[in-house]
Every structure is written in C-alpha cells, then in structure tokens.
Amino acid sequence: MKNYTGLQHKKVLVLGLAKSGVAAAELLHDLGAFVTVNDAKPFDENSEAQSLLQKGITVICGRHPEDLLDEGFELIVKNPGIPYHNFIIQDAINRNIPVWTEIELAYLVSEAPMIGITGSNGKTTTTTLIYEMLQKAGEKPLVAGNIGTVACGVAREATSDHFIVTELSSFQLMGVETFKPKIAVLTNLYEAHLDYHGSFEAYADAKFAVTAQQDSSDYFIYNADQPTVAAYAEKTKAQTVPFTVNGRTDEGISADQQYIYWHGQAILERAAIKLPGQHNLENILAAVATCLLLGSEVEPLNEVLHHFGGVKHRTQFVKEWQGIRFYNDSKATNSLATKSALEAFAAPTILLAGGLERNHSLEELTSSLTNVRMAILFGETKRRFAEFFEAHHIPTQLVENVEQAVPLAIKQATAGDVVLLSPACASWDQYESFEIRGDAFINAINEL
C-alpha cells in the first residue's frame, strides 16, 4: 500500500456500511483521518458498527441526523447504493463537500496497476476472463469491485507485482475524482438504472468516468459496434482499442466466423471457444485485448477460452443429461439480457422466465424467438409474459416458481434441446437475489 498522506487529520464521514463501508472506514482510520460512520441499522443490531467503535472510530447508528454535516466534514465516502437524492448527499453537494465511493480510495493507495471494467452487460464475464487469462499467463491478478473483495481492501494488500482487475458499476464510478486505471474497458451501453441516474445521458456519463482521467500512457478498450460507445471513445485521452464482432479489421481486436484478429492478424480460432453467444464473444474480445496489452502470449489465453464455460448465473452451462443441455442465466434481469442469451443458441429452447413486475416491455425479444419452442413462466409477471409469448405463437405453461418449472421443462424436453433459465426480471418477488434463484434452478436439476 502506498504511504498516502492526503487524508491525514481530515474529518471524513462514511455513509452506509456493509462490506464497502467497513473497508473504507478501516482504511481511512489507518490513513490518519478522523472517521465517523453513519448507518441506518440500530447499533445493537449492527456488528460492523460495534467492531468499528472498538477500533476508535465514531459511530452514529439507527438514524441519519439532519444536522449531521454541521460537524465540519471535509469528505464523504458513501455506499454506492445510496442515491444522490439522499438528503445528506444533497446537503454535502450544496456545501461543496466531495462525495467519493471507496473505488477512489483504492486508487489512491494502490501500488498495483488497476484495470477497470464497466458497461451495462458483460462486466462480470469480462472481469473473470481477464483474471483467469492473466493467471494462466503467469501474472498475479487480483479481483475487486462488484465481483470480489472490496477494492480498497484489495488495494491495501496489493504490491506493484499485481494487477487489480476491478468490475465497476455506474454507482461506483460517480464517486471518483482521480481514478485512472491503466486499462479501462467499456463493454456496452444500454438503458439501465434510470431510477438512480434520471436519464440515459447521466448514466452513460457515469460509465465514461472509467476513462475520464486517463492519458496517452493508458488504454481504453471499447465496443466499436455501438455508436453511442464509439462517440464517447472520441472524448478519451487514452490510446483507444476498439473491438468488433462484425468482421476483420486492421485496428484493435475483431472477429469473424472463423477467427479472432489482433490488428488484422488471426490469433485465435473461433471453433476453440467454449463460451456460447455473440454477446460473450464481445466479452472475450475485450478480455483478450486487455491481456495482450499487458504482454500476455496468445497460447494461455487460448487455453482459457477452450475450457471457460461461463460465470455462474450468466449463461452458465450446468450439465447435459440425456442429450438435454441446461443453462443458468439467472443474472438476466431484463429483456435485453434474455435476448442475448436466446441468440446464443441455435437449438430448440425451452425458456424459463418471469419474476418481479416492473412493467418493462418484452418487445426486444421478438427477433430472438425463432428457436423458442416453449416458455415456462413463473413469478409476478407470468400472466403478462404468457400473453406476449402466446401472441408470438409460442406455447406457455404457468407455474409458481423455478423449482416447479424445472421438472416440467425436463418432461417437455427431448434430446438436442436447451433448457434455459433466463428470467428477464429481477428475482425479488420470490428470491432474495438472482444468485439464490439460479442456485434453486441448479439444485432442482441435480435432484431430478
């Protein structure tokens, strides 16, 4: 960890605990700041706050006092999930108090170069691929951010021999000022989290913060197939590395039906790639480009692609049984993600979908229904979803939950079929998280 002294003796408020808040508070304390944490959970029920108090950190729990900022704080480090319309954050903005997320702290203390991966979809798969490829290539990668340990916790342990591969949300990137990754990746941009950001433009601006502080010594890898992303790429000061899945190009990294090309030269055969889907090919291109820029040889990257079957809950291959292949795409919480999953398969597909009702349209799926021969639907959306699929002449069955959907799918499937859980909805009507929903799918398959 760098001997960073810029926060010494400064009064800092950590707003919201959970893992990121605890790690930020502990790091700030060790850097010599005067730290106060404020969390809504009552102190008696708040083991994190109790632990911080024992370390000499001031804690205010169970409420958010309206006059909290009268204490003269010089900086706020907030939990990424706290929206900017929160009255304390608004008060801080009005008082010109900087508002960070712990990603900024991680950058300030890290001895290791940081790789920042963001985008609407594909972040976790891309991050995981980069980590596994660098590891196979003999490097020392560490994973941080949304996919691993809290970034500032990783950064304090990392040395200059490591690379910190960091998955970044728009929420996290809104709270950075000097964050400057050696390599930044923007996988794609679609409308998401508009309830948090207010507009697509504000959301996209937050994503672009991943490269905002980069300079000509850094690299920005971006999706050249999306005009919106390409337009943002024109604003960066970093060296740009475009990727495209629409045929060979001489610039950046590209792919056609046969090969992946690096600056126009074929380096990898598509046939060797295990991970299905055009959307995953985009993730693969971004990951391969990252590793090549860091000096990796092609062979270890090819070896990873030959064996990598996907990240859990993200078009994850579960197993094949009696010629039926099962895939867990529980992370697909919107119709665009489900569209990508459906387009990954040419085989007849039984789709398991449904969940929390947010009244979003399914029309994006229309062009991707060619191979869907049945939809088994559950959750709050099941009847509305049934109307959509039946309007497109796809038979439907309604069940209560994923556990009931699996045996019905197995009963209907024949050898050569794909059974795909890709709900196009959040899970919170029935399951605490998409991970729990995906595990229920896997467990139901294994039991049968």
The answer to whether 150 and 102 are in contact (CB under 8 A) is yes
Evaluate whether residue 3 is within a structural domain: no
418-434: per-residue pLDDT in tens? 999 999 999 999 999 99
Any known ligand binding at 122? yes
Q: What are the residues whose beta carbons fall under 8 Å from the beta carbon of 365, sequence distance 6 or more?
A: 335, 338, 339, 342, 388, 424
Residues 96 and 145 in one domain: no
Evaluate whether residue 126 is within a structural domain: yes
The answer to whether 133 and 304 are in contact (CB under 8 A) is yes
Evaluate whether residue 388 is within a structural domain: yes
**Where does 274-371 show beta strands of DSSP type E?**
316-321, 324-328, 349-353
- C-alpha distances (whole Å) from 197 to each of 101, 187, 333 are 16, 19, 18
Mean pLDDT for the stretch of residues 367-386: 97
Any known ligand binding at 119? yes
Other CB atoms within a 10 A radius of the CB of residue 55 amount to: 11
Residues 290 and 157 in one domain: yes
Residues 142 and 272 in one domain: yes
Residues 84 and 143 in one domain: no
Q: Is the dihedral of CA 161, 166, 172, 173 positive or negative?
A: positive
> Strand 99-100 relative to strand 75-78: parallel, antiparallel, unpaired?
parallel
| Cα three-residue angle 21-175-63, rounded to 5 degrees | 45
Boundary residue ending a domain (307, 335, 359):
307
Residues 92 and 118 in one domain: no
Evaluate whether residue 234 is within a structural domain: yes
Percent of the chain at pLDDT > 70 equals 99
Q: How many domains does the chain have?
A: 3
Evaluate whether residue 248 is within a structural domain: yes
Residues 136 and 279 in one domain: yes
Mean pLDDT for the stretch of residues 306-310: 87
Q: Tell me the CATH number at 262.
A: 3.40.1190.10
Residues 142 and 52 in one domain: no
Q: pLDDT at residue 49 above 90?
A: yes
Q: pLDDT at residue 404 above 80?
A: yes
pLDDT confidence of residue 216: 98
Q: Is the dihedral of CA 229, 344, 373, 407 positive or negative?
A: negative
Boundary residue ending a domain (43, 67, 100):
100
Q: Tell me the CATH number at 16.
A: 3.40.50.720
Please give the full DSSP string across 229-271, using - where no structure is assigned.
Answer: HHHHHTT-SSEEEEEESSS--SSSEEE-SSEEEETTEEEEEGG
Percent of the chain at pLDDT > 90 equals 86
Mean pLDDT for the stretch of residues 246-264: 97
Mean pLDDT for the stretch of residues 306-324: 89
Any known ligand binding at 302? no
Please tell me whether residue 127 adopts helix, strand or coil conformation.
helix
Evaluate whether residue 77 is within a structural domain: yes
Q: Tell me the CATH number at 361.
A: 3.90.190.20
Residues 171 and 82 in one domain: no
How many Å apart are CA 425 and CA 447, to the nearest integer? 25
Any known ligand binding at 62? no
The answer to whether 316 and 328 are in contact (CB under 8 A) is yes
Evaluate whether residue 230 is within a structural domain: yes
> Strand 372-377 relative to strand 265-269: parallel, antiparallel, unpaired?
unpaired
Q: pLDDT at residue 445 above 80?
A: yes
Compute the mean pLDDT over every residue in the chain, rounded to the nearest whole number. Answer: 94
Structure tokens at 336: 């665009």
Mean pLDDT for the stretch of residues 106-113: 98
Residues 408 and 272 in one domain: no
Q: For residue 88, what is the enclosing H or E element?
A: helix 87-94
Mean pLDDT for the stretch of residues 206-230: 97
Evaluate whether residue 415 is within a structural domain: yes
Mean pLDDT for the stretch of residues 183-205: 84
192 confidence band (pLDDT: 50, 70, 90): low
Q: pLDDT at residue 121 above 90?
A: no
Boundary residue ending a domain (100, 117, 140):
100
How many Å apart are CA 418 and CA 349, to the nearest integer? 5
How many Å apart are CA 47 and CA 316, to the nearest integer? 35
- C-alpha distances (whole Å) from 71 to each of 13, 36, 364 are 10, 10, 50
Any known ligand binding at 121? yes
Q: At what angle do helices 402-412 and 434-447 cross, to 10 degrees?
A: 40
The answer to whether 91 and 38 are in contact (CB under 8 A) is no
Q: pLDDT at residue 347 above 90?
A: yes
Residues 172 and 284 in one domain: yes
Residues 238 and 366 in one domain: no
Residues 194 and 256 in one domain: yes
Q: Domain of residue 377: give its range.
A: 316-447
Q: pLDDT at residue 194 above 70?
A: no
131-182: per-residue pLDDT in tens? 999 999 999 999 998 777 899 999 999 999 999 999 999 999 999 999 999 9
Mean pLDDT for the stretch of residues 5-24: 95
